[in-house]
Structure 1
Amino acid sequence: MSAPQTAGERRQPLTRPDAEAVEQVRRQVDRLCWSGILLGLAFTMTNVQSFAANGAAAWSLPWLAAWLLDPMVSLVLLAILRAEQVTARYGIRTGGWVRGAKWFTLAATYVMNTWGAYAARAADMVVLHSVPPLVVFVAAEAVTDLRDKLTAAVRAGSVDADSELVPEPVVPRSPDPKRRISFDEYLTRAREAWRPDTTVTPAWIRKVTGCSRGLSSRLAAALTAEMEQR
C-alpha cells in the first residue's frame, strides 16, 4: 500500500488559463457580494428612517432629516469595505480601528433596523428586519476573506505561469584566471593610475598594477620615459 500524498504533493501549479479563470471568478464573487450588500442596505433604509423620524409628520423637517441617518452610516460602511477591497488585493492588513468602525456601523444599522420590532415584541418582524443587516454583516466579513484567498490564487497562478516561460539564464564564462597579462597591459594600468604628483618607482608600479618584482623595474623605466617625453 502506497503512502498517502501530502498536501504539497497533491497541489498542482496553476497555468495561465487557470489563473485567468480564477481572476474571472474573483470578479464575479466581488460583484455578487457588493450587489447583495447594496440591496441589504437599501432594504434597511426605510426602517432606519422610521426609527429616526419617531412618528414625525410626513414631509416635516424631522421626517426629511431622518432620511439622512441611514445613508450616513451606510456610506461610512461602504467606504471601509471599498478600502478593504483594495488593501486585500495587495495583501495588506488593516488595523483594529478599521475593523472596529466596520463592526460599529453594522451594529448600528442592525439596532436601528430592529428596534421597533423588539419594542413591539413581534417575533416575525424581528426575524424579517434582522435578516438584511445580518446578511450585510456576514457578506462584509466573507467578501474580504474571499478576496484574500482568490487574490492569492491568482498571484500563485501568475508566478507559476511566468516561471514556465522564463528561460534559464546563461552564465557567461569567467576569463581564465591563469592567463598571463602582457607588458603593455601592465603599462596601461600604470599609465591610468599615474598623476602629475606621482613619483614613479618599482614599488609604486607593483602597488597599482600587481605585477611581479622583476617586471616592475622595466615598467617604471618605460613609464618614466613616456612622462619625460610629454
Structure 2
Amino acid sequence: MSIETVAGPQDAQHVPLSEADKLRQDAESAAQVRRLANHPDVIALRVEKVRTQIDVLLWVGIFLGLAFTMVNVQAFAASGAAVWSLAWLSAWLLDPMVSLVLVAVLRAEQITARYQVQTGRWAHRTKWFAFLATYVMNTWKSWTHLDIAGVALHSVPPVLVFLAAETAPVLRDKLTEAVMAAAGHAFTGEANTQETAPAAEVTPSAPAETPDAEEPVPTPALSPAPAPRRTTRKAKAPAKQGRKLRADYLAEARAAWAPGIEITPAWVREVCPEVSRGTSKNVADDLIAETRTAPTVLPVPAPTTTARTDSEEAA
C-alpha cells in the first residue's frame, strides 16, 4: 500500500502545481519567447512587415500628390486653348509623361535601397528634373499673379512628393541595416559561445607543463607555451569582424583622405564600397569636422634633417 500511495502524487494531472512550479514554468516560457523574439529571422520578418506598410503609405501619398498637380499642369500647358480642342487634349499628356518617368526612378530606388546599392547620378538628376518641372508648371500662374495663397497651396503637393521620394530610400536603407544589425548580434553571440570552449581546453594544459623536478632545464622548454594562447587570440579576431561600425568606416576614410580631396558621401562610398548611404553621410560629416578642427602640422621633416647632420658631424 505504501508504494501505491507514493506513486500517486507524482502524477501532475492529479496534483496541483505549487507556486514555485508555476513561476518556473512561466520563466521557461518567457525565456523561450525572448529567444525567439530576438532571432534574426523573426526580426527580419517584422522589419519586412514594417517595410511593406511604409512603402504602401509612401506610394499612396506620392500618387495623390501627382494627381493633384495634374490639373494645374494641364491648365499651364493648355494656356487658354478651347475645351476639347487638340491642344487642350494634348495638354493632359504632359503631367503623366513626367510622373511616369518619376515613378519608374522611384520604383528602381525601392529595389536598390533594399540591398543598399547606389542608383547613380543620372537617376538622381532625372528625379530632380521631374520634381522641378512639376513644381514650376504647377505654380507658374500663382507666381505671375503674385498670389501668395496660390503659391502656398500649389507648392505643398510637389514639395511633399519630393520629400517622400528622398526620404523613402533612406528609410529602406535603415531598415536593411536593422536586419543586418540583428544578424550581426546573433553572429557575435554564437562566436562568443564558441570562443569560450577552447579557452576551457587550454587552461588544464597549463599545470601539466610546469614540473617542479627540473627547474633549470625546462625554462627554454616552457617558452613555446604562450603559442596556443596567441593562436586563440588570432582566432577571435575574424569572428568579431562580422559587421563594421561607423568608427571603422571613419578610420578607413581618414586614412584615404589627403589635402585637396573634397569630402562628400559619394567619395566615402568610393573609399568604403560596403558602406550604406546614410552611414556615408555621417562619416563624411565627421571627417569634415575633423579636418576643420585638426591643426596643420607640417614642420616635421625639419628636425629629422638637422638630427642627421648632427650625427654625421659627430661621426
TM bracket (short chain): 0.5 to 0.7
Give the Cα–Cα distance (whole angstroms) in 2 for the partners of residues 111 and 29 of structure 1: 28
C-alpha spacing 1:14/1:96, structure 2 compared with 1 (3 Å)? farther
Shift of 1:157: 2.7
- The aligned counterpart of 1:15 is 39
Shift of 1:30: 1.2
Q: TM-score, normalised by structure 2?
A: 0.47
Give the Cα–Cα distance (whole angstroms) in 2 for the partners of residues 14 and 101 of structure 1: 41
- The structure with higher relative contact order (CA 8 Å, sep 6+) is 1
Cα deviation digits, residues 188-215 of structure 1 (max 9, x gap): xxxxxxxxxxxxxxxxxxxxxxxxxxxx
> Is the counterpart of residue 50 in structure 1 residue 86 in structure 2?
no
Is the CA contact (8 Å cut-off) linking 1:23 and 1:154 kept in structure 2?
no
Shift of 1:143: 0.5
Q: How does 1:74-153 map to 2 (within 5 A)?
A: 74-153=99-178
- The aligned counterpart of 2:57 is 32
- Higher Rg: 1
Aligned structure 1 segments of 4 or more residues deviating by more than 6 angstroms: 162-168
Question: Partner of 1:67: helix, strand, or coil?
Answer: helix
Question: Partner of 2:83: helix, strand, or coil?
Answer: coil
Shift of 1:164: 6.8
Give the Cα–Cα distance (whole angstroms) in 2 for the partners of residues 159 and 46 of structure 1: 50
Q: TM-score, normalised by structure 1?
A: 0.63
Name stretches of at least 5 consecutive residues in structure 1 with no aligned partner. 1-12, 169-230
Aligned length: 158
Give the Cα–Cα distance (whole angstroms) in 1 for the partners of residues 81 and 162 of structure 2: 30
Name stretches of at least 5 consecutive residues in structure 2 with no aligned partner. 1-36, 195-315
- The aligned counterpart of 2:9 is none
Shift of 1:153: 1.2
